[in-house]
Amino acid sequence: MSELRLKREVYDKLTLEPVFAGGKLQVQLSGLCDSFAVKPLGAYLDGVAAEIGRLGLSGVAIDVTRLSLLNSSSLKQFITFLRPMKSGDSECKVEFVVDDQNPWQRRCLAALARMCPNAVSLRDVNGGGPGGNPSQRLRYASATPNPTRRS
């Protein structure tokens, strides 16, 4: 088995930690993806893409359960990362591991599942909920009405 060429990195408030076991790669993000994290995150995801190609991985898991916020510019880095999967140039599947106790994680990443339904799925780390449903629309768990559904 080839050695993984990714390592644990800490950039300001963001920590990225790869785990490669049993031929499966998981990358855990911890902390905060703010404007200072955007470029390092993009570069790290380039590295993940390179490893997917080099090792011939059929899937990768991105664990965001320890992330407190992902800004839109960081989300854009994931959109860029998923471009080969969306276009069909890569057959790799991407599973985002979320914690449904932190409802923003599923809400945020559901946009990626809608963008790339054949390659992206979402899974609750606690095992609950209909994870990975690419057609899932936004749901509002609180008493707040959903303004997108108002007449």
Partner 1 sequence: MNPRQPAVDAKMSLFICMSFCPSEHLVSAISQLVSDFCKIGLRDLDISSRFHMAAHELAENITKYSTTSRVSLEVELSERDGVHILSVKTRNEASPERLKEVERRLQELKLTKDPVELYDRMIEQSAPLDGVSGLGLARIRAEGGLEFDYAIDGNELTLVVQAPVPKPTPPEAV
88 contributes a contact to partner 1 by CB under 8 A: no
The residue count for the chain: 151
With contacts defined by CB under 8 A, name the span among 14-22, 30-38, 44-52, 121-129 that binds partner 1.
30-38
C-alpha span between 122 and 126 (Å, rounded) = 12
**CA angle, 15 then 59 then 129, to 5°:** 80
Cβ closest to partner 1, residue 19 vs residue 36 = 36
Q: Which of 66, 93, 107, 123 binds partner 1 (CB under 8 A)?
A: 107
Q: Which residues pair with 79 in a beta bridge?
A: none
Within 46-85, the residues that bind partner 1 by CB under 8 A are 69, 71-73, 75-76, 79-80, 83
DSSP label of 149: G
Helix, strand, coil percentages for the chain (3-state, nearest 5): 30, 30, 40
Q: Which of 9, 13, 117, 134 binds partner 1 (CB under 8 A)?
A: 13
Element (H, E) at 45: helix 38-55
Shortest spacing between CB 40 and partner 1, in angstroms: 14
C-alpha span between 43 and 136 (Å, rounded) = 29
Q: Which of 10, 24, 35, 91 binds partner 1 (CB under 8 A)?
A: 35
Residues found near partner 1 in the complex (CB under 8 A): 13, 32, 34-36, 69, 71-73, 75-76, 79-80, 83, 86, 101-104, 107-108, 111, 114-115, 137-138, 140-148
